[in-house]
């Protein structure tokens, strides 16, 4: 399967470093180009400052913070039930997945556990948030490479997933559906059947993307061998999610760590790719989307009956203590470290978002590539600005 | 065209009047062709390919949307960037537009319906079409914008690389027809025969298929349509040399882009698909049927141009150069060689 | 799989062509409207007679966009000859939709079922100040409030 061999990877990296060195030594009069904060390729307001020699990047530096909304501070002055609606807004494409680790951390502090039906529905919606997030990536990658059509297909089929999320939770983008000890509501009637047919639709979309982009010669030539991240570099920079799995690291928190959520009860597979280039990252996410549809279907088949809310006091006071819970979000590892002093709200919340760590590799990765490849790499690393700046 | 107009009006127009009428006619064709392409392909076909409907409100199925857009652009403010080279910036769109306009001069739409049937028609078309790169470079440089400069330079490099395979591909047609006049090429295809069967003449697509492929790819690059749209590349260079333009000047660029797509489709139809020729129709009937047939062919070729444009991703600049110099140019040389051998052998 | 150069490109062209001949999925919005799901959070409706001015919603709102004022009022006694009762009368109940995050916490915490979600969504305004809906306007939204949908198999009825 691998198409980029070990020596090719090393040659690529050595070449990048050598080019960068030569350009610095010769002191050619380069051009400094600001990619962003308003640029179509930065999905929002990321600013990447690159020094160019012709079309080749000599030096690159991501400048983030243009969308800083101060969420960690905001969470300190909110009560626990109010926080889920705020953390929805971190990674706004897969927003349901943001509230789950926070609720799990709060539940761990309170020592309550949601009933199994609630956990299963949480997992279903978590995976649907993953689908909603990754389908957009699958289409958007095409736009960044110049093919405008795939993103319309992505929006078309993502719409069905969002409709289902809205039917269950009431909110398309900001569900606010998790409560400490369970869920707000049960699923409405007919939801399961509709969900299954939507999963089939998403799989068709994946096939379409495979025909439209993955098998495309131009797509291949634009992504294969571009932005190679070797395994150890990926680990050194603290990448997570599909970015690290595309570099051949077999690491998925859903599988590797005990969690009250229902992933342990279904059959699924963690996809990895040995290449570590942009193509591998696209390929891994495509497979993950397919895998997520199968997880959702299996979970819906075995959905246990019962209550969806554990017994919790009406006014939620979380006992003093500290808890750290992380989950495998669509973009990578997301975690919350909650420090509670026994009040109505947390004393301090540290949010670990995947995108912030994922873009930290940009200065290393962008050295020596061409301007069009900068866009390919930015697109394939896949970050959400709300997730970087918080 | 004089042979149509003079009997029609019953007077012998002088050279001056005739020239004025010709210029006006060609001027009229440019926006009409551009609007037709914009509406049919950019608004409707692409929308349906992307599972949506496109403009539906202005007129039935939004047919009036394209003229409305035109009016909208005319109303907008004509902004000059503070540090732009004002004169060059102002002039650049007209240079691009002029190149497009000149292309239409030699395109025959019927046996007698052509503004000027030059003896070196093909040569003129290819020479004039590459004039636009000067305008693009001017636009890119004068905008005082890094993205625009990069876009302009990319356009220049690209047009130089793709002008060559295009010329070499067309050489095959010229060799087979034995003339460089576009009318002459149409007549040569009409008179030709496929292995002795003389029903539809001999459209050169059959004998020059390789040449047509090279011509199509090179034309796609010349028109800066995806997969060769690096000079404008929305996702990389924002809009390349177009970034700083607004209002009527942007409109000129935009119209030139679609009008030259129209013109290249027309040239392709003439060179490879027999142009206006309808088998078995001659005289006045050919004058009426010819333009219809020609337009149909132009629309079909336009469909292919925009179908490719909205499906494929774009190349990288170095891959594009490699593709032109390593594959297209050798292939077109092989095509010339093969054409030469066949020409001598048969 | 036999592959010739460009086969991937042709496959992609096939996908878009197939889409060209299948009908579009979009609807022409102002003429055709898609019905939102019953649980959709469109606008908050107020059932004024149920409100007891307990201020719970205003306090729990994460961005404090609910403004409530009330006063104590004497109501006629329940029984003949009894003492007049004291009830809370609602003077003002405003929701500023320019601030609202549509989280639904107010609807959930309301202990007397005075607040409901309605899937109406067409109330955009030219002036931002007009997005402040007073209690009469909030009362009008009650018309669109749907019955809660039946639940999926396996759900437990009764209290949450």
Q: Tens place of pLDDT for every residue, chain B, 346 residues?
A: 555 566 566 666 677 787 788 788 777 888 888 888 888 888 888 888 888 888 888 878 888 888 888 888 888 888 888 888 888 888 888 888 888 888 888 888 777 777 777 788 888 888 888 888 888 888 888 888 888 888 888 888 888 888 888 888 888 888 888 888 888 888 787 776 666 666 666 777 777 788 888 888 888 888 888 788 877 777 677 777 888 888 888 888 888 888 888 888 888 888 888 777 777 777 777 777 778 888 888 888 888 888 888 888 888 878 888 888 888 888 888 888 888 888 777 6
Burial call B11-21: b when 16+ CB within 10 Å, e when fewer: eeeeeeebeeb
Verify whether the Cβ–Cβ distance C15 to B308 is below 8 Å: no
Say if CB A234 and CB A260 are below 8 A apart: no
Neighbours of A11 (CB within 10 A): 11
- Span A93-119, pLDDT tens digits: 888 888 889 988 888 888 888 888 888
In terms of Cα–Cα distance, which of C102, B56, B104, C16 is closest to A216?
C16
Verify whether the Cβ–Cβ distance C16 to B307 is below 8 Å: yes
Q: What is the pLDDT of residue A25?
A: 56
Verify whether the Cβ–Cβ distance C13 to B311 is below 8 Å: yes
Residues of C engaging A, defined by a Cβ cutoff of 8 Å? 5-9, 11-12, 14-16, 19, 25, 36-41, 60, 62, 101-105, 108, 117, 149-156, 160
pTM of the model: 0.83
Cα A241 from Cα A23, distance rounded (Å): 34
What average pLDDT does chain A have?
A: 84
Q: What is the pLDDT of residue B100?
A: 86
Q: Give C139's pLDDT tier (boundaries 50, 70, 90).
A: confident
What average pLDDT does chain C have?
A: 81
- Residue B227: is the preceding peptide bond cis (ω within 30°)? yes
Q: Which residues in chain A come in under a pLDDT of 70?
A: 1-9, 16-29, 42
B303 and chain C in contact, CB less than 8 A: no
Nearest-CA distance C75 → chain B (Å): 58
Verify whether the Cβ–Cβ distance C12 to A213 is below 8 Å: yes
Q: Give C160's pLDDT tier (boundaries 50, 70, 90).
A: very low
**Strand C85-96 versus strand A178-179 pairing type:** unpaired
Which residues of chain B neighbour C9 with C-beta distances below 8 Å? 312
Q: Give C159's pLDDT tier (boundaries 50, 70, 90).
A: very low
- ipTM over 0.90? The verdict is no
Report the residue from A78, A189, A217 with minimal CB separation from C152: A189
Query: What are the φ and ψ backbone dihedral angles of A311, each rounded to 5 degrees?
Result: -80, 115
Which residues of chain A neighbour C25 with C-beta distances below 8 Å? 156, 159
Q: Which helix (H) or strand (E) holds C66?
A: strand C66-75
Q: Which two tokens stand for residue B106?
A: 């030699």
Q: Give C28's pLDDT tier (boundaries 50, 70, 90).
A: confident
Verify whether the Cβ–Cβ distance A166 to C40 is below 8 Å: yes
Task: Nearest chain B residue to C24 by CA: give it.
Answer: B51
Cα A333 from Cα A263, distance rounded (Å): 16
Cα–chain-centroid distance for residue C114? 13
Verify whether the Cβ–Cβ distance B51 to A153 is below 8 Å: yes
- Span A265-288, pLDDT tens digits: 888 888 888 888 888 899 999 999
Verify whether the Cβ–Cβ distance C152 to A170 is below 8 Å: no
Q: Give C1's pLDDT tier (boundaries 50, 70, 90).
A: very low
Residue C24 burial by Cβ neighbours in a 10 Å radius (0-12, 13-18, 19+):
middle
Query: What are the φ and ψ backbone dihedral angles of A274, each rounded to 5 degrees?
Result: -75, -15
Report the residue from A176, A306, A308 with minimal CB separation from C103: A176
- Provide the total of helices (H) and of strands (E) in chain C, helices listed first: 4, 5
Average pLDDT over every residue of C71-100: 80
> Using CB atoms, which chains have 3+ pairs under 8 A with A?
B, C
């Amino acid at each position: 399967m691998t198409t980029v061999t070990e020596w090719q990877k090393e040659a690529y990296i050595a070449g990048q470093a050598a080019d960068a060195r030569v350009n610095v030594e010769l002191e050619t009069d380069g051009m400094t180009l600001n990619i962003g904060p308003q640029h179509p390729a930065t999905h929002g307001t990321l600013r990447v400052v690159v020094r160019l020699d012709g079309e080749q990047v000599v030096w690159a530096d991501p400048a983030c913070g243009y969308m800083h909304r101060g969420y960690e501070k905001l969470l300190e002055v909110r009560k626990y039930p109010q926080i889920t609606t705020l953390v929805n807004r971190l990674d706004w494409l897969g927003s349901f997945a943001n509230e789950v680790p926070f609720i799990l951390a709060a539940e761990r502090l309170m020592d309550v556990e949601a009933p199994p039906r609630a956990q299963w529905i949480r997992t279903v919606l978590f995976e649907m948030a993953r689908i909603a997030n990754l389908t957009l990536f699958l289409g958007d990658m095409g736009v960044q490479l110049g093919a405008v059509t795939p993103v319309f297909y992505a929006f078309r089929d993502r719409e069905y997933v969002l409709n289902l999320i809205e039917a269950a939770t009431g909110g398309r983008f900001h569900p606010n559906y998790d409560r400490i000890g369970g869920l707000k509501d049960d699923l409405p009637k007919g939801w399961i059947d509709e969900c299954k047919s939507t999963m089939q639709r998403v799989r068709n979309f994946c096939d379409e993307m495979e025909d439209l982009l993955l098998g495309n010669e131009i797509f291949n030539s634009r992504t294969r061998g571009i932005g190679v991240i070797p395994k150890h570099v990926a680990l050194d920079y603290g990448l997570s999610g599909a970015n690290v799995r595309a570099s051949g690291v077999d690491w998925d928190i859903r599988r590797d760590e005990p969690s009250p959520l229902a992933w342990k009860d279904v059959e699924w597979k963690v996809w990895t790719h040995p290449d570590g280039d942009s193509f591998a990252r696209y390929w891994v996410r495509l497979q993950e989307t397919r895998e997520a549809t199968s997880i959702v279907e299996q979970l819906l088949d075995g959905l246990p009956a019962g209550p969806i809310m554990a017994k919790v006091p009406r006014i939620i006071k979380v006992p003093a203590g500290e808890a750290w819970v992380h989950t495998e979000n669509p973009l990578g590892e997301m975690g919350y470290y909650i420090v509670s002093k026994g009040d109505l709200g947390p004393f301090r919340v540290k949010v670990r978002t995947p995108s912030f760590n994922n873009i930290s590799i940009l200065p290393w990765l962008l050295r020596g590539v061409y301007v069009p490849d900068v866009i390919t790499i930015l697109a394939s690393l896949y970050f959400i600005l709300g997730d970087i700046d918080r | 065209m004089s042979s149509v107009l003079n009997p029609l009006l019953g007077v012998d127009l002088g050279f001056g009047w005739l020239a004025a009428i010709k210029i006006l006619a060609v001027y009229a064709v440019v926006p009409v062709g551009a609007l037709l392409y914009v509406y049919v392909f950019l608004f409707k076909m692409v929308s349906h390919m992307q599972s949506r409907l496109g403009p539906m409100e202005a007129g039935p199925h939004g047919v009036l949307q394209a003229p409305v857009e035109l009016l909208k652009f005319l109303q907008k403010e004509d902004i000059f960037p503070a540090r732009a080279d004002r004169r060059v910036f102002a002039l650049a769109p007209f240079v691009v537009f002029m190149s497009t306009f000149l292309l239409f001069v030699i395109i025959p739409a019927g046996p007698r319906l052509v503004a000027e049937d030059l003896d070196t028609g093909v040569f003129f078309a290819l020479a004039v079409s590459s004039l636009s790169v000067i305008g693009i470079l001017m636009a890119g440089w004068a905008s005082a914008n890094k993205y625009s400069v990069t876009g302009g330079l990319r356009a220049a490099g690209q047009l130089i690389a793709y002008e060559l395979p295009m010329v070499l591909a067309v050489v095959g047609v010229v060799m087979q027809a034995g003339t460089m006049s576009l009318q002459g090429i149409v007549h040569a295809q009409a008179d030709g025969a496929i292995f002795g069967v003389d029903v539809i003449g001999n459209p050169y697509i059959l004998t020059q298929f390789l040449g047509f492929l090279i011509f199509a790819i090179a034309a796609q690059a010349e028109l800066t349509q995806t997969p060769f749209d690096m000079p404008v590349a929305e996702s990389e260079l924002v809009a390349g040399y177009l970034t700083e333009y607004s209002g009527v000047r942007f409109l000129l660029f935009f119209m030139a882009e679609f009008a030259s797509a129209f013109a290249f489709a027309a040239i392709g139809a003439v060179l490879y698909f027999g142009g206006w020729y309808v088998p078995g129709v001659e005289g006045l009937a050919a004058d009426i049927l010819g333009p219809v047939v020609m337009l149909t062919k132009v629309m079909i070729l336009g469909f292919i141009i925009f179908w490719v444009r909205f499906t494929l991703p774009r190349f990288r600049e170095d891959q594009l150069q490699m593709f032109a110099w390593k594959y297209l140019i050798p292939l077109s040389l092989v095509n010339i060689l093969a054409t030469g051998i066949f020409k001598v052998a048969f | 799989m036999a592959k010739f150069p460009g086969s991937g490109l042709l496959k992609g062209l096939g996908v878009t062509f197939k889409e060209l001949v299948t009908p579009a999925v979009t609807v022409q919005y102002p003429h055709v409207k898609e019905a939102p799901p019953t649980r959709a959070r469109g606008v908050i409706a107020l059932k004024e007679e149920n409100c007891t001015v307990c201020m719970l919603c205003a306090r729990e709102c994460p961005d404090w966009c609910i403004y409530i004022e009330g006063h104590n009022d004497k109501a006629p006694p329940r029984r003949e000859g009894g003492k007049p009762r004291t009830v809370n009368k609602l003077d003002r109940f405003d929701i500023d939709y320019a601030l609202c995050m549509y989280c639904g916490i107010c609807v959930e915490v309301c202990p007397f079922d005075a607040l409901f979600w309605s899937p109406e969504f067409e109330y955009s305004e030219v002036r931002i100040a007009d997005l402040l809906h007073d209690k009469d306007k909030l009362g009008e939204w009650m018309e669109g409030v749907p019955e809660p949908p039946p639940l999926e198999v396996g759900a437990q009825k009764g209290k949450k």
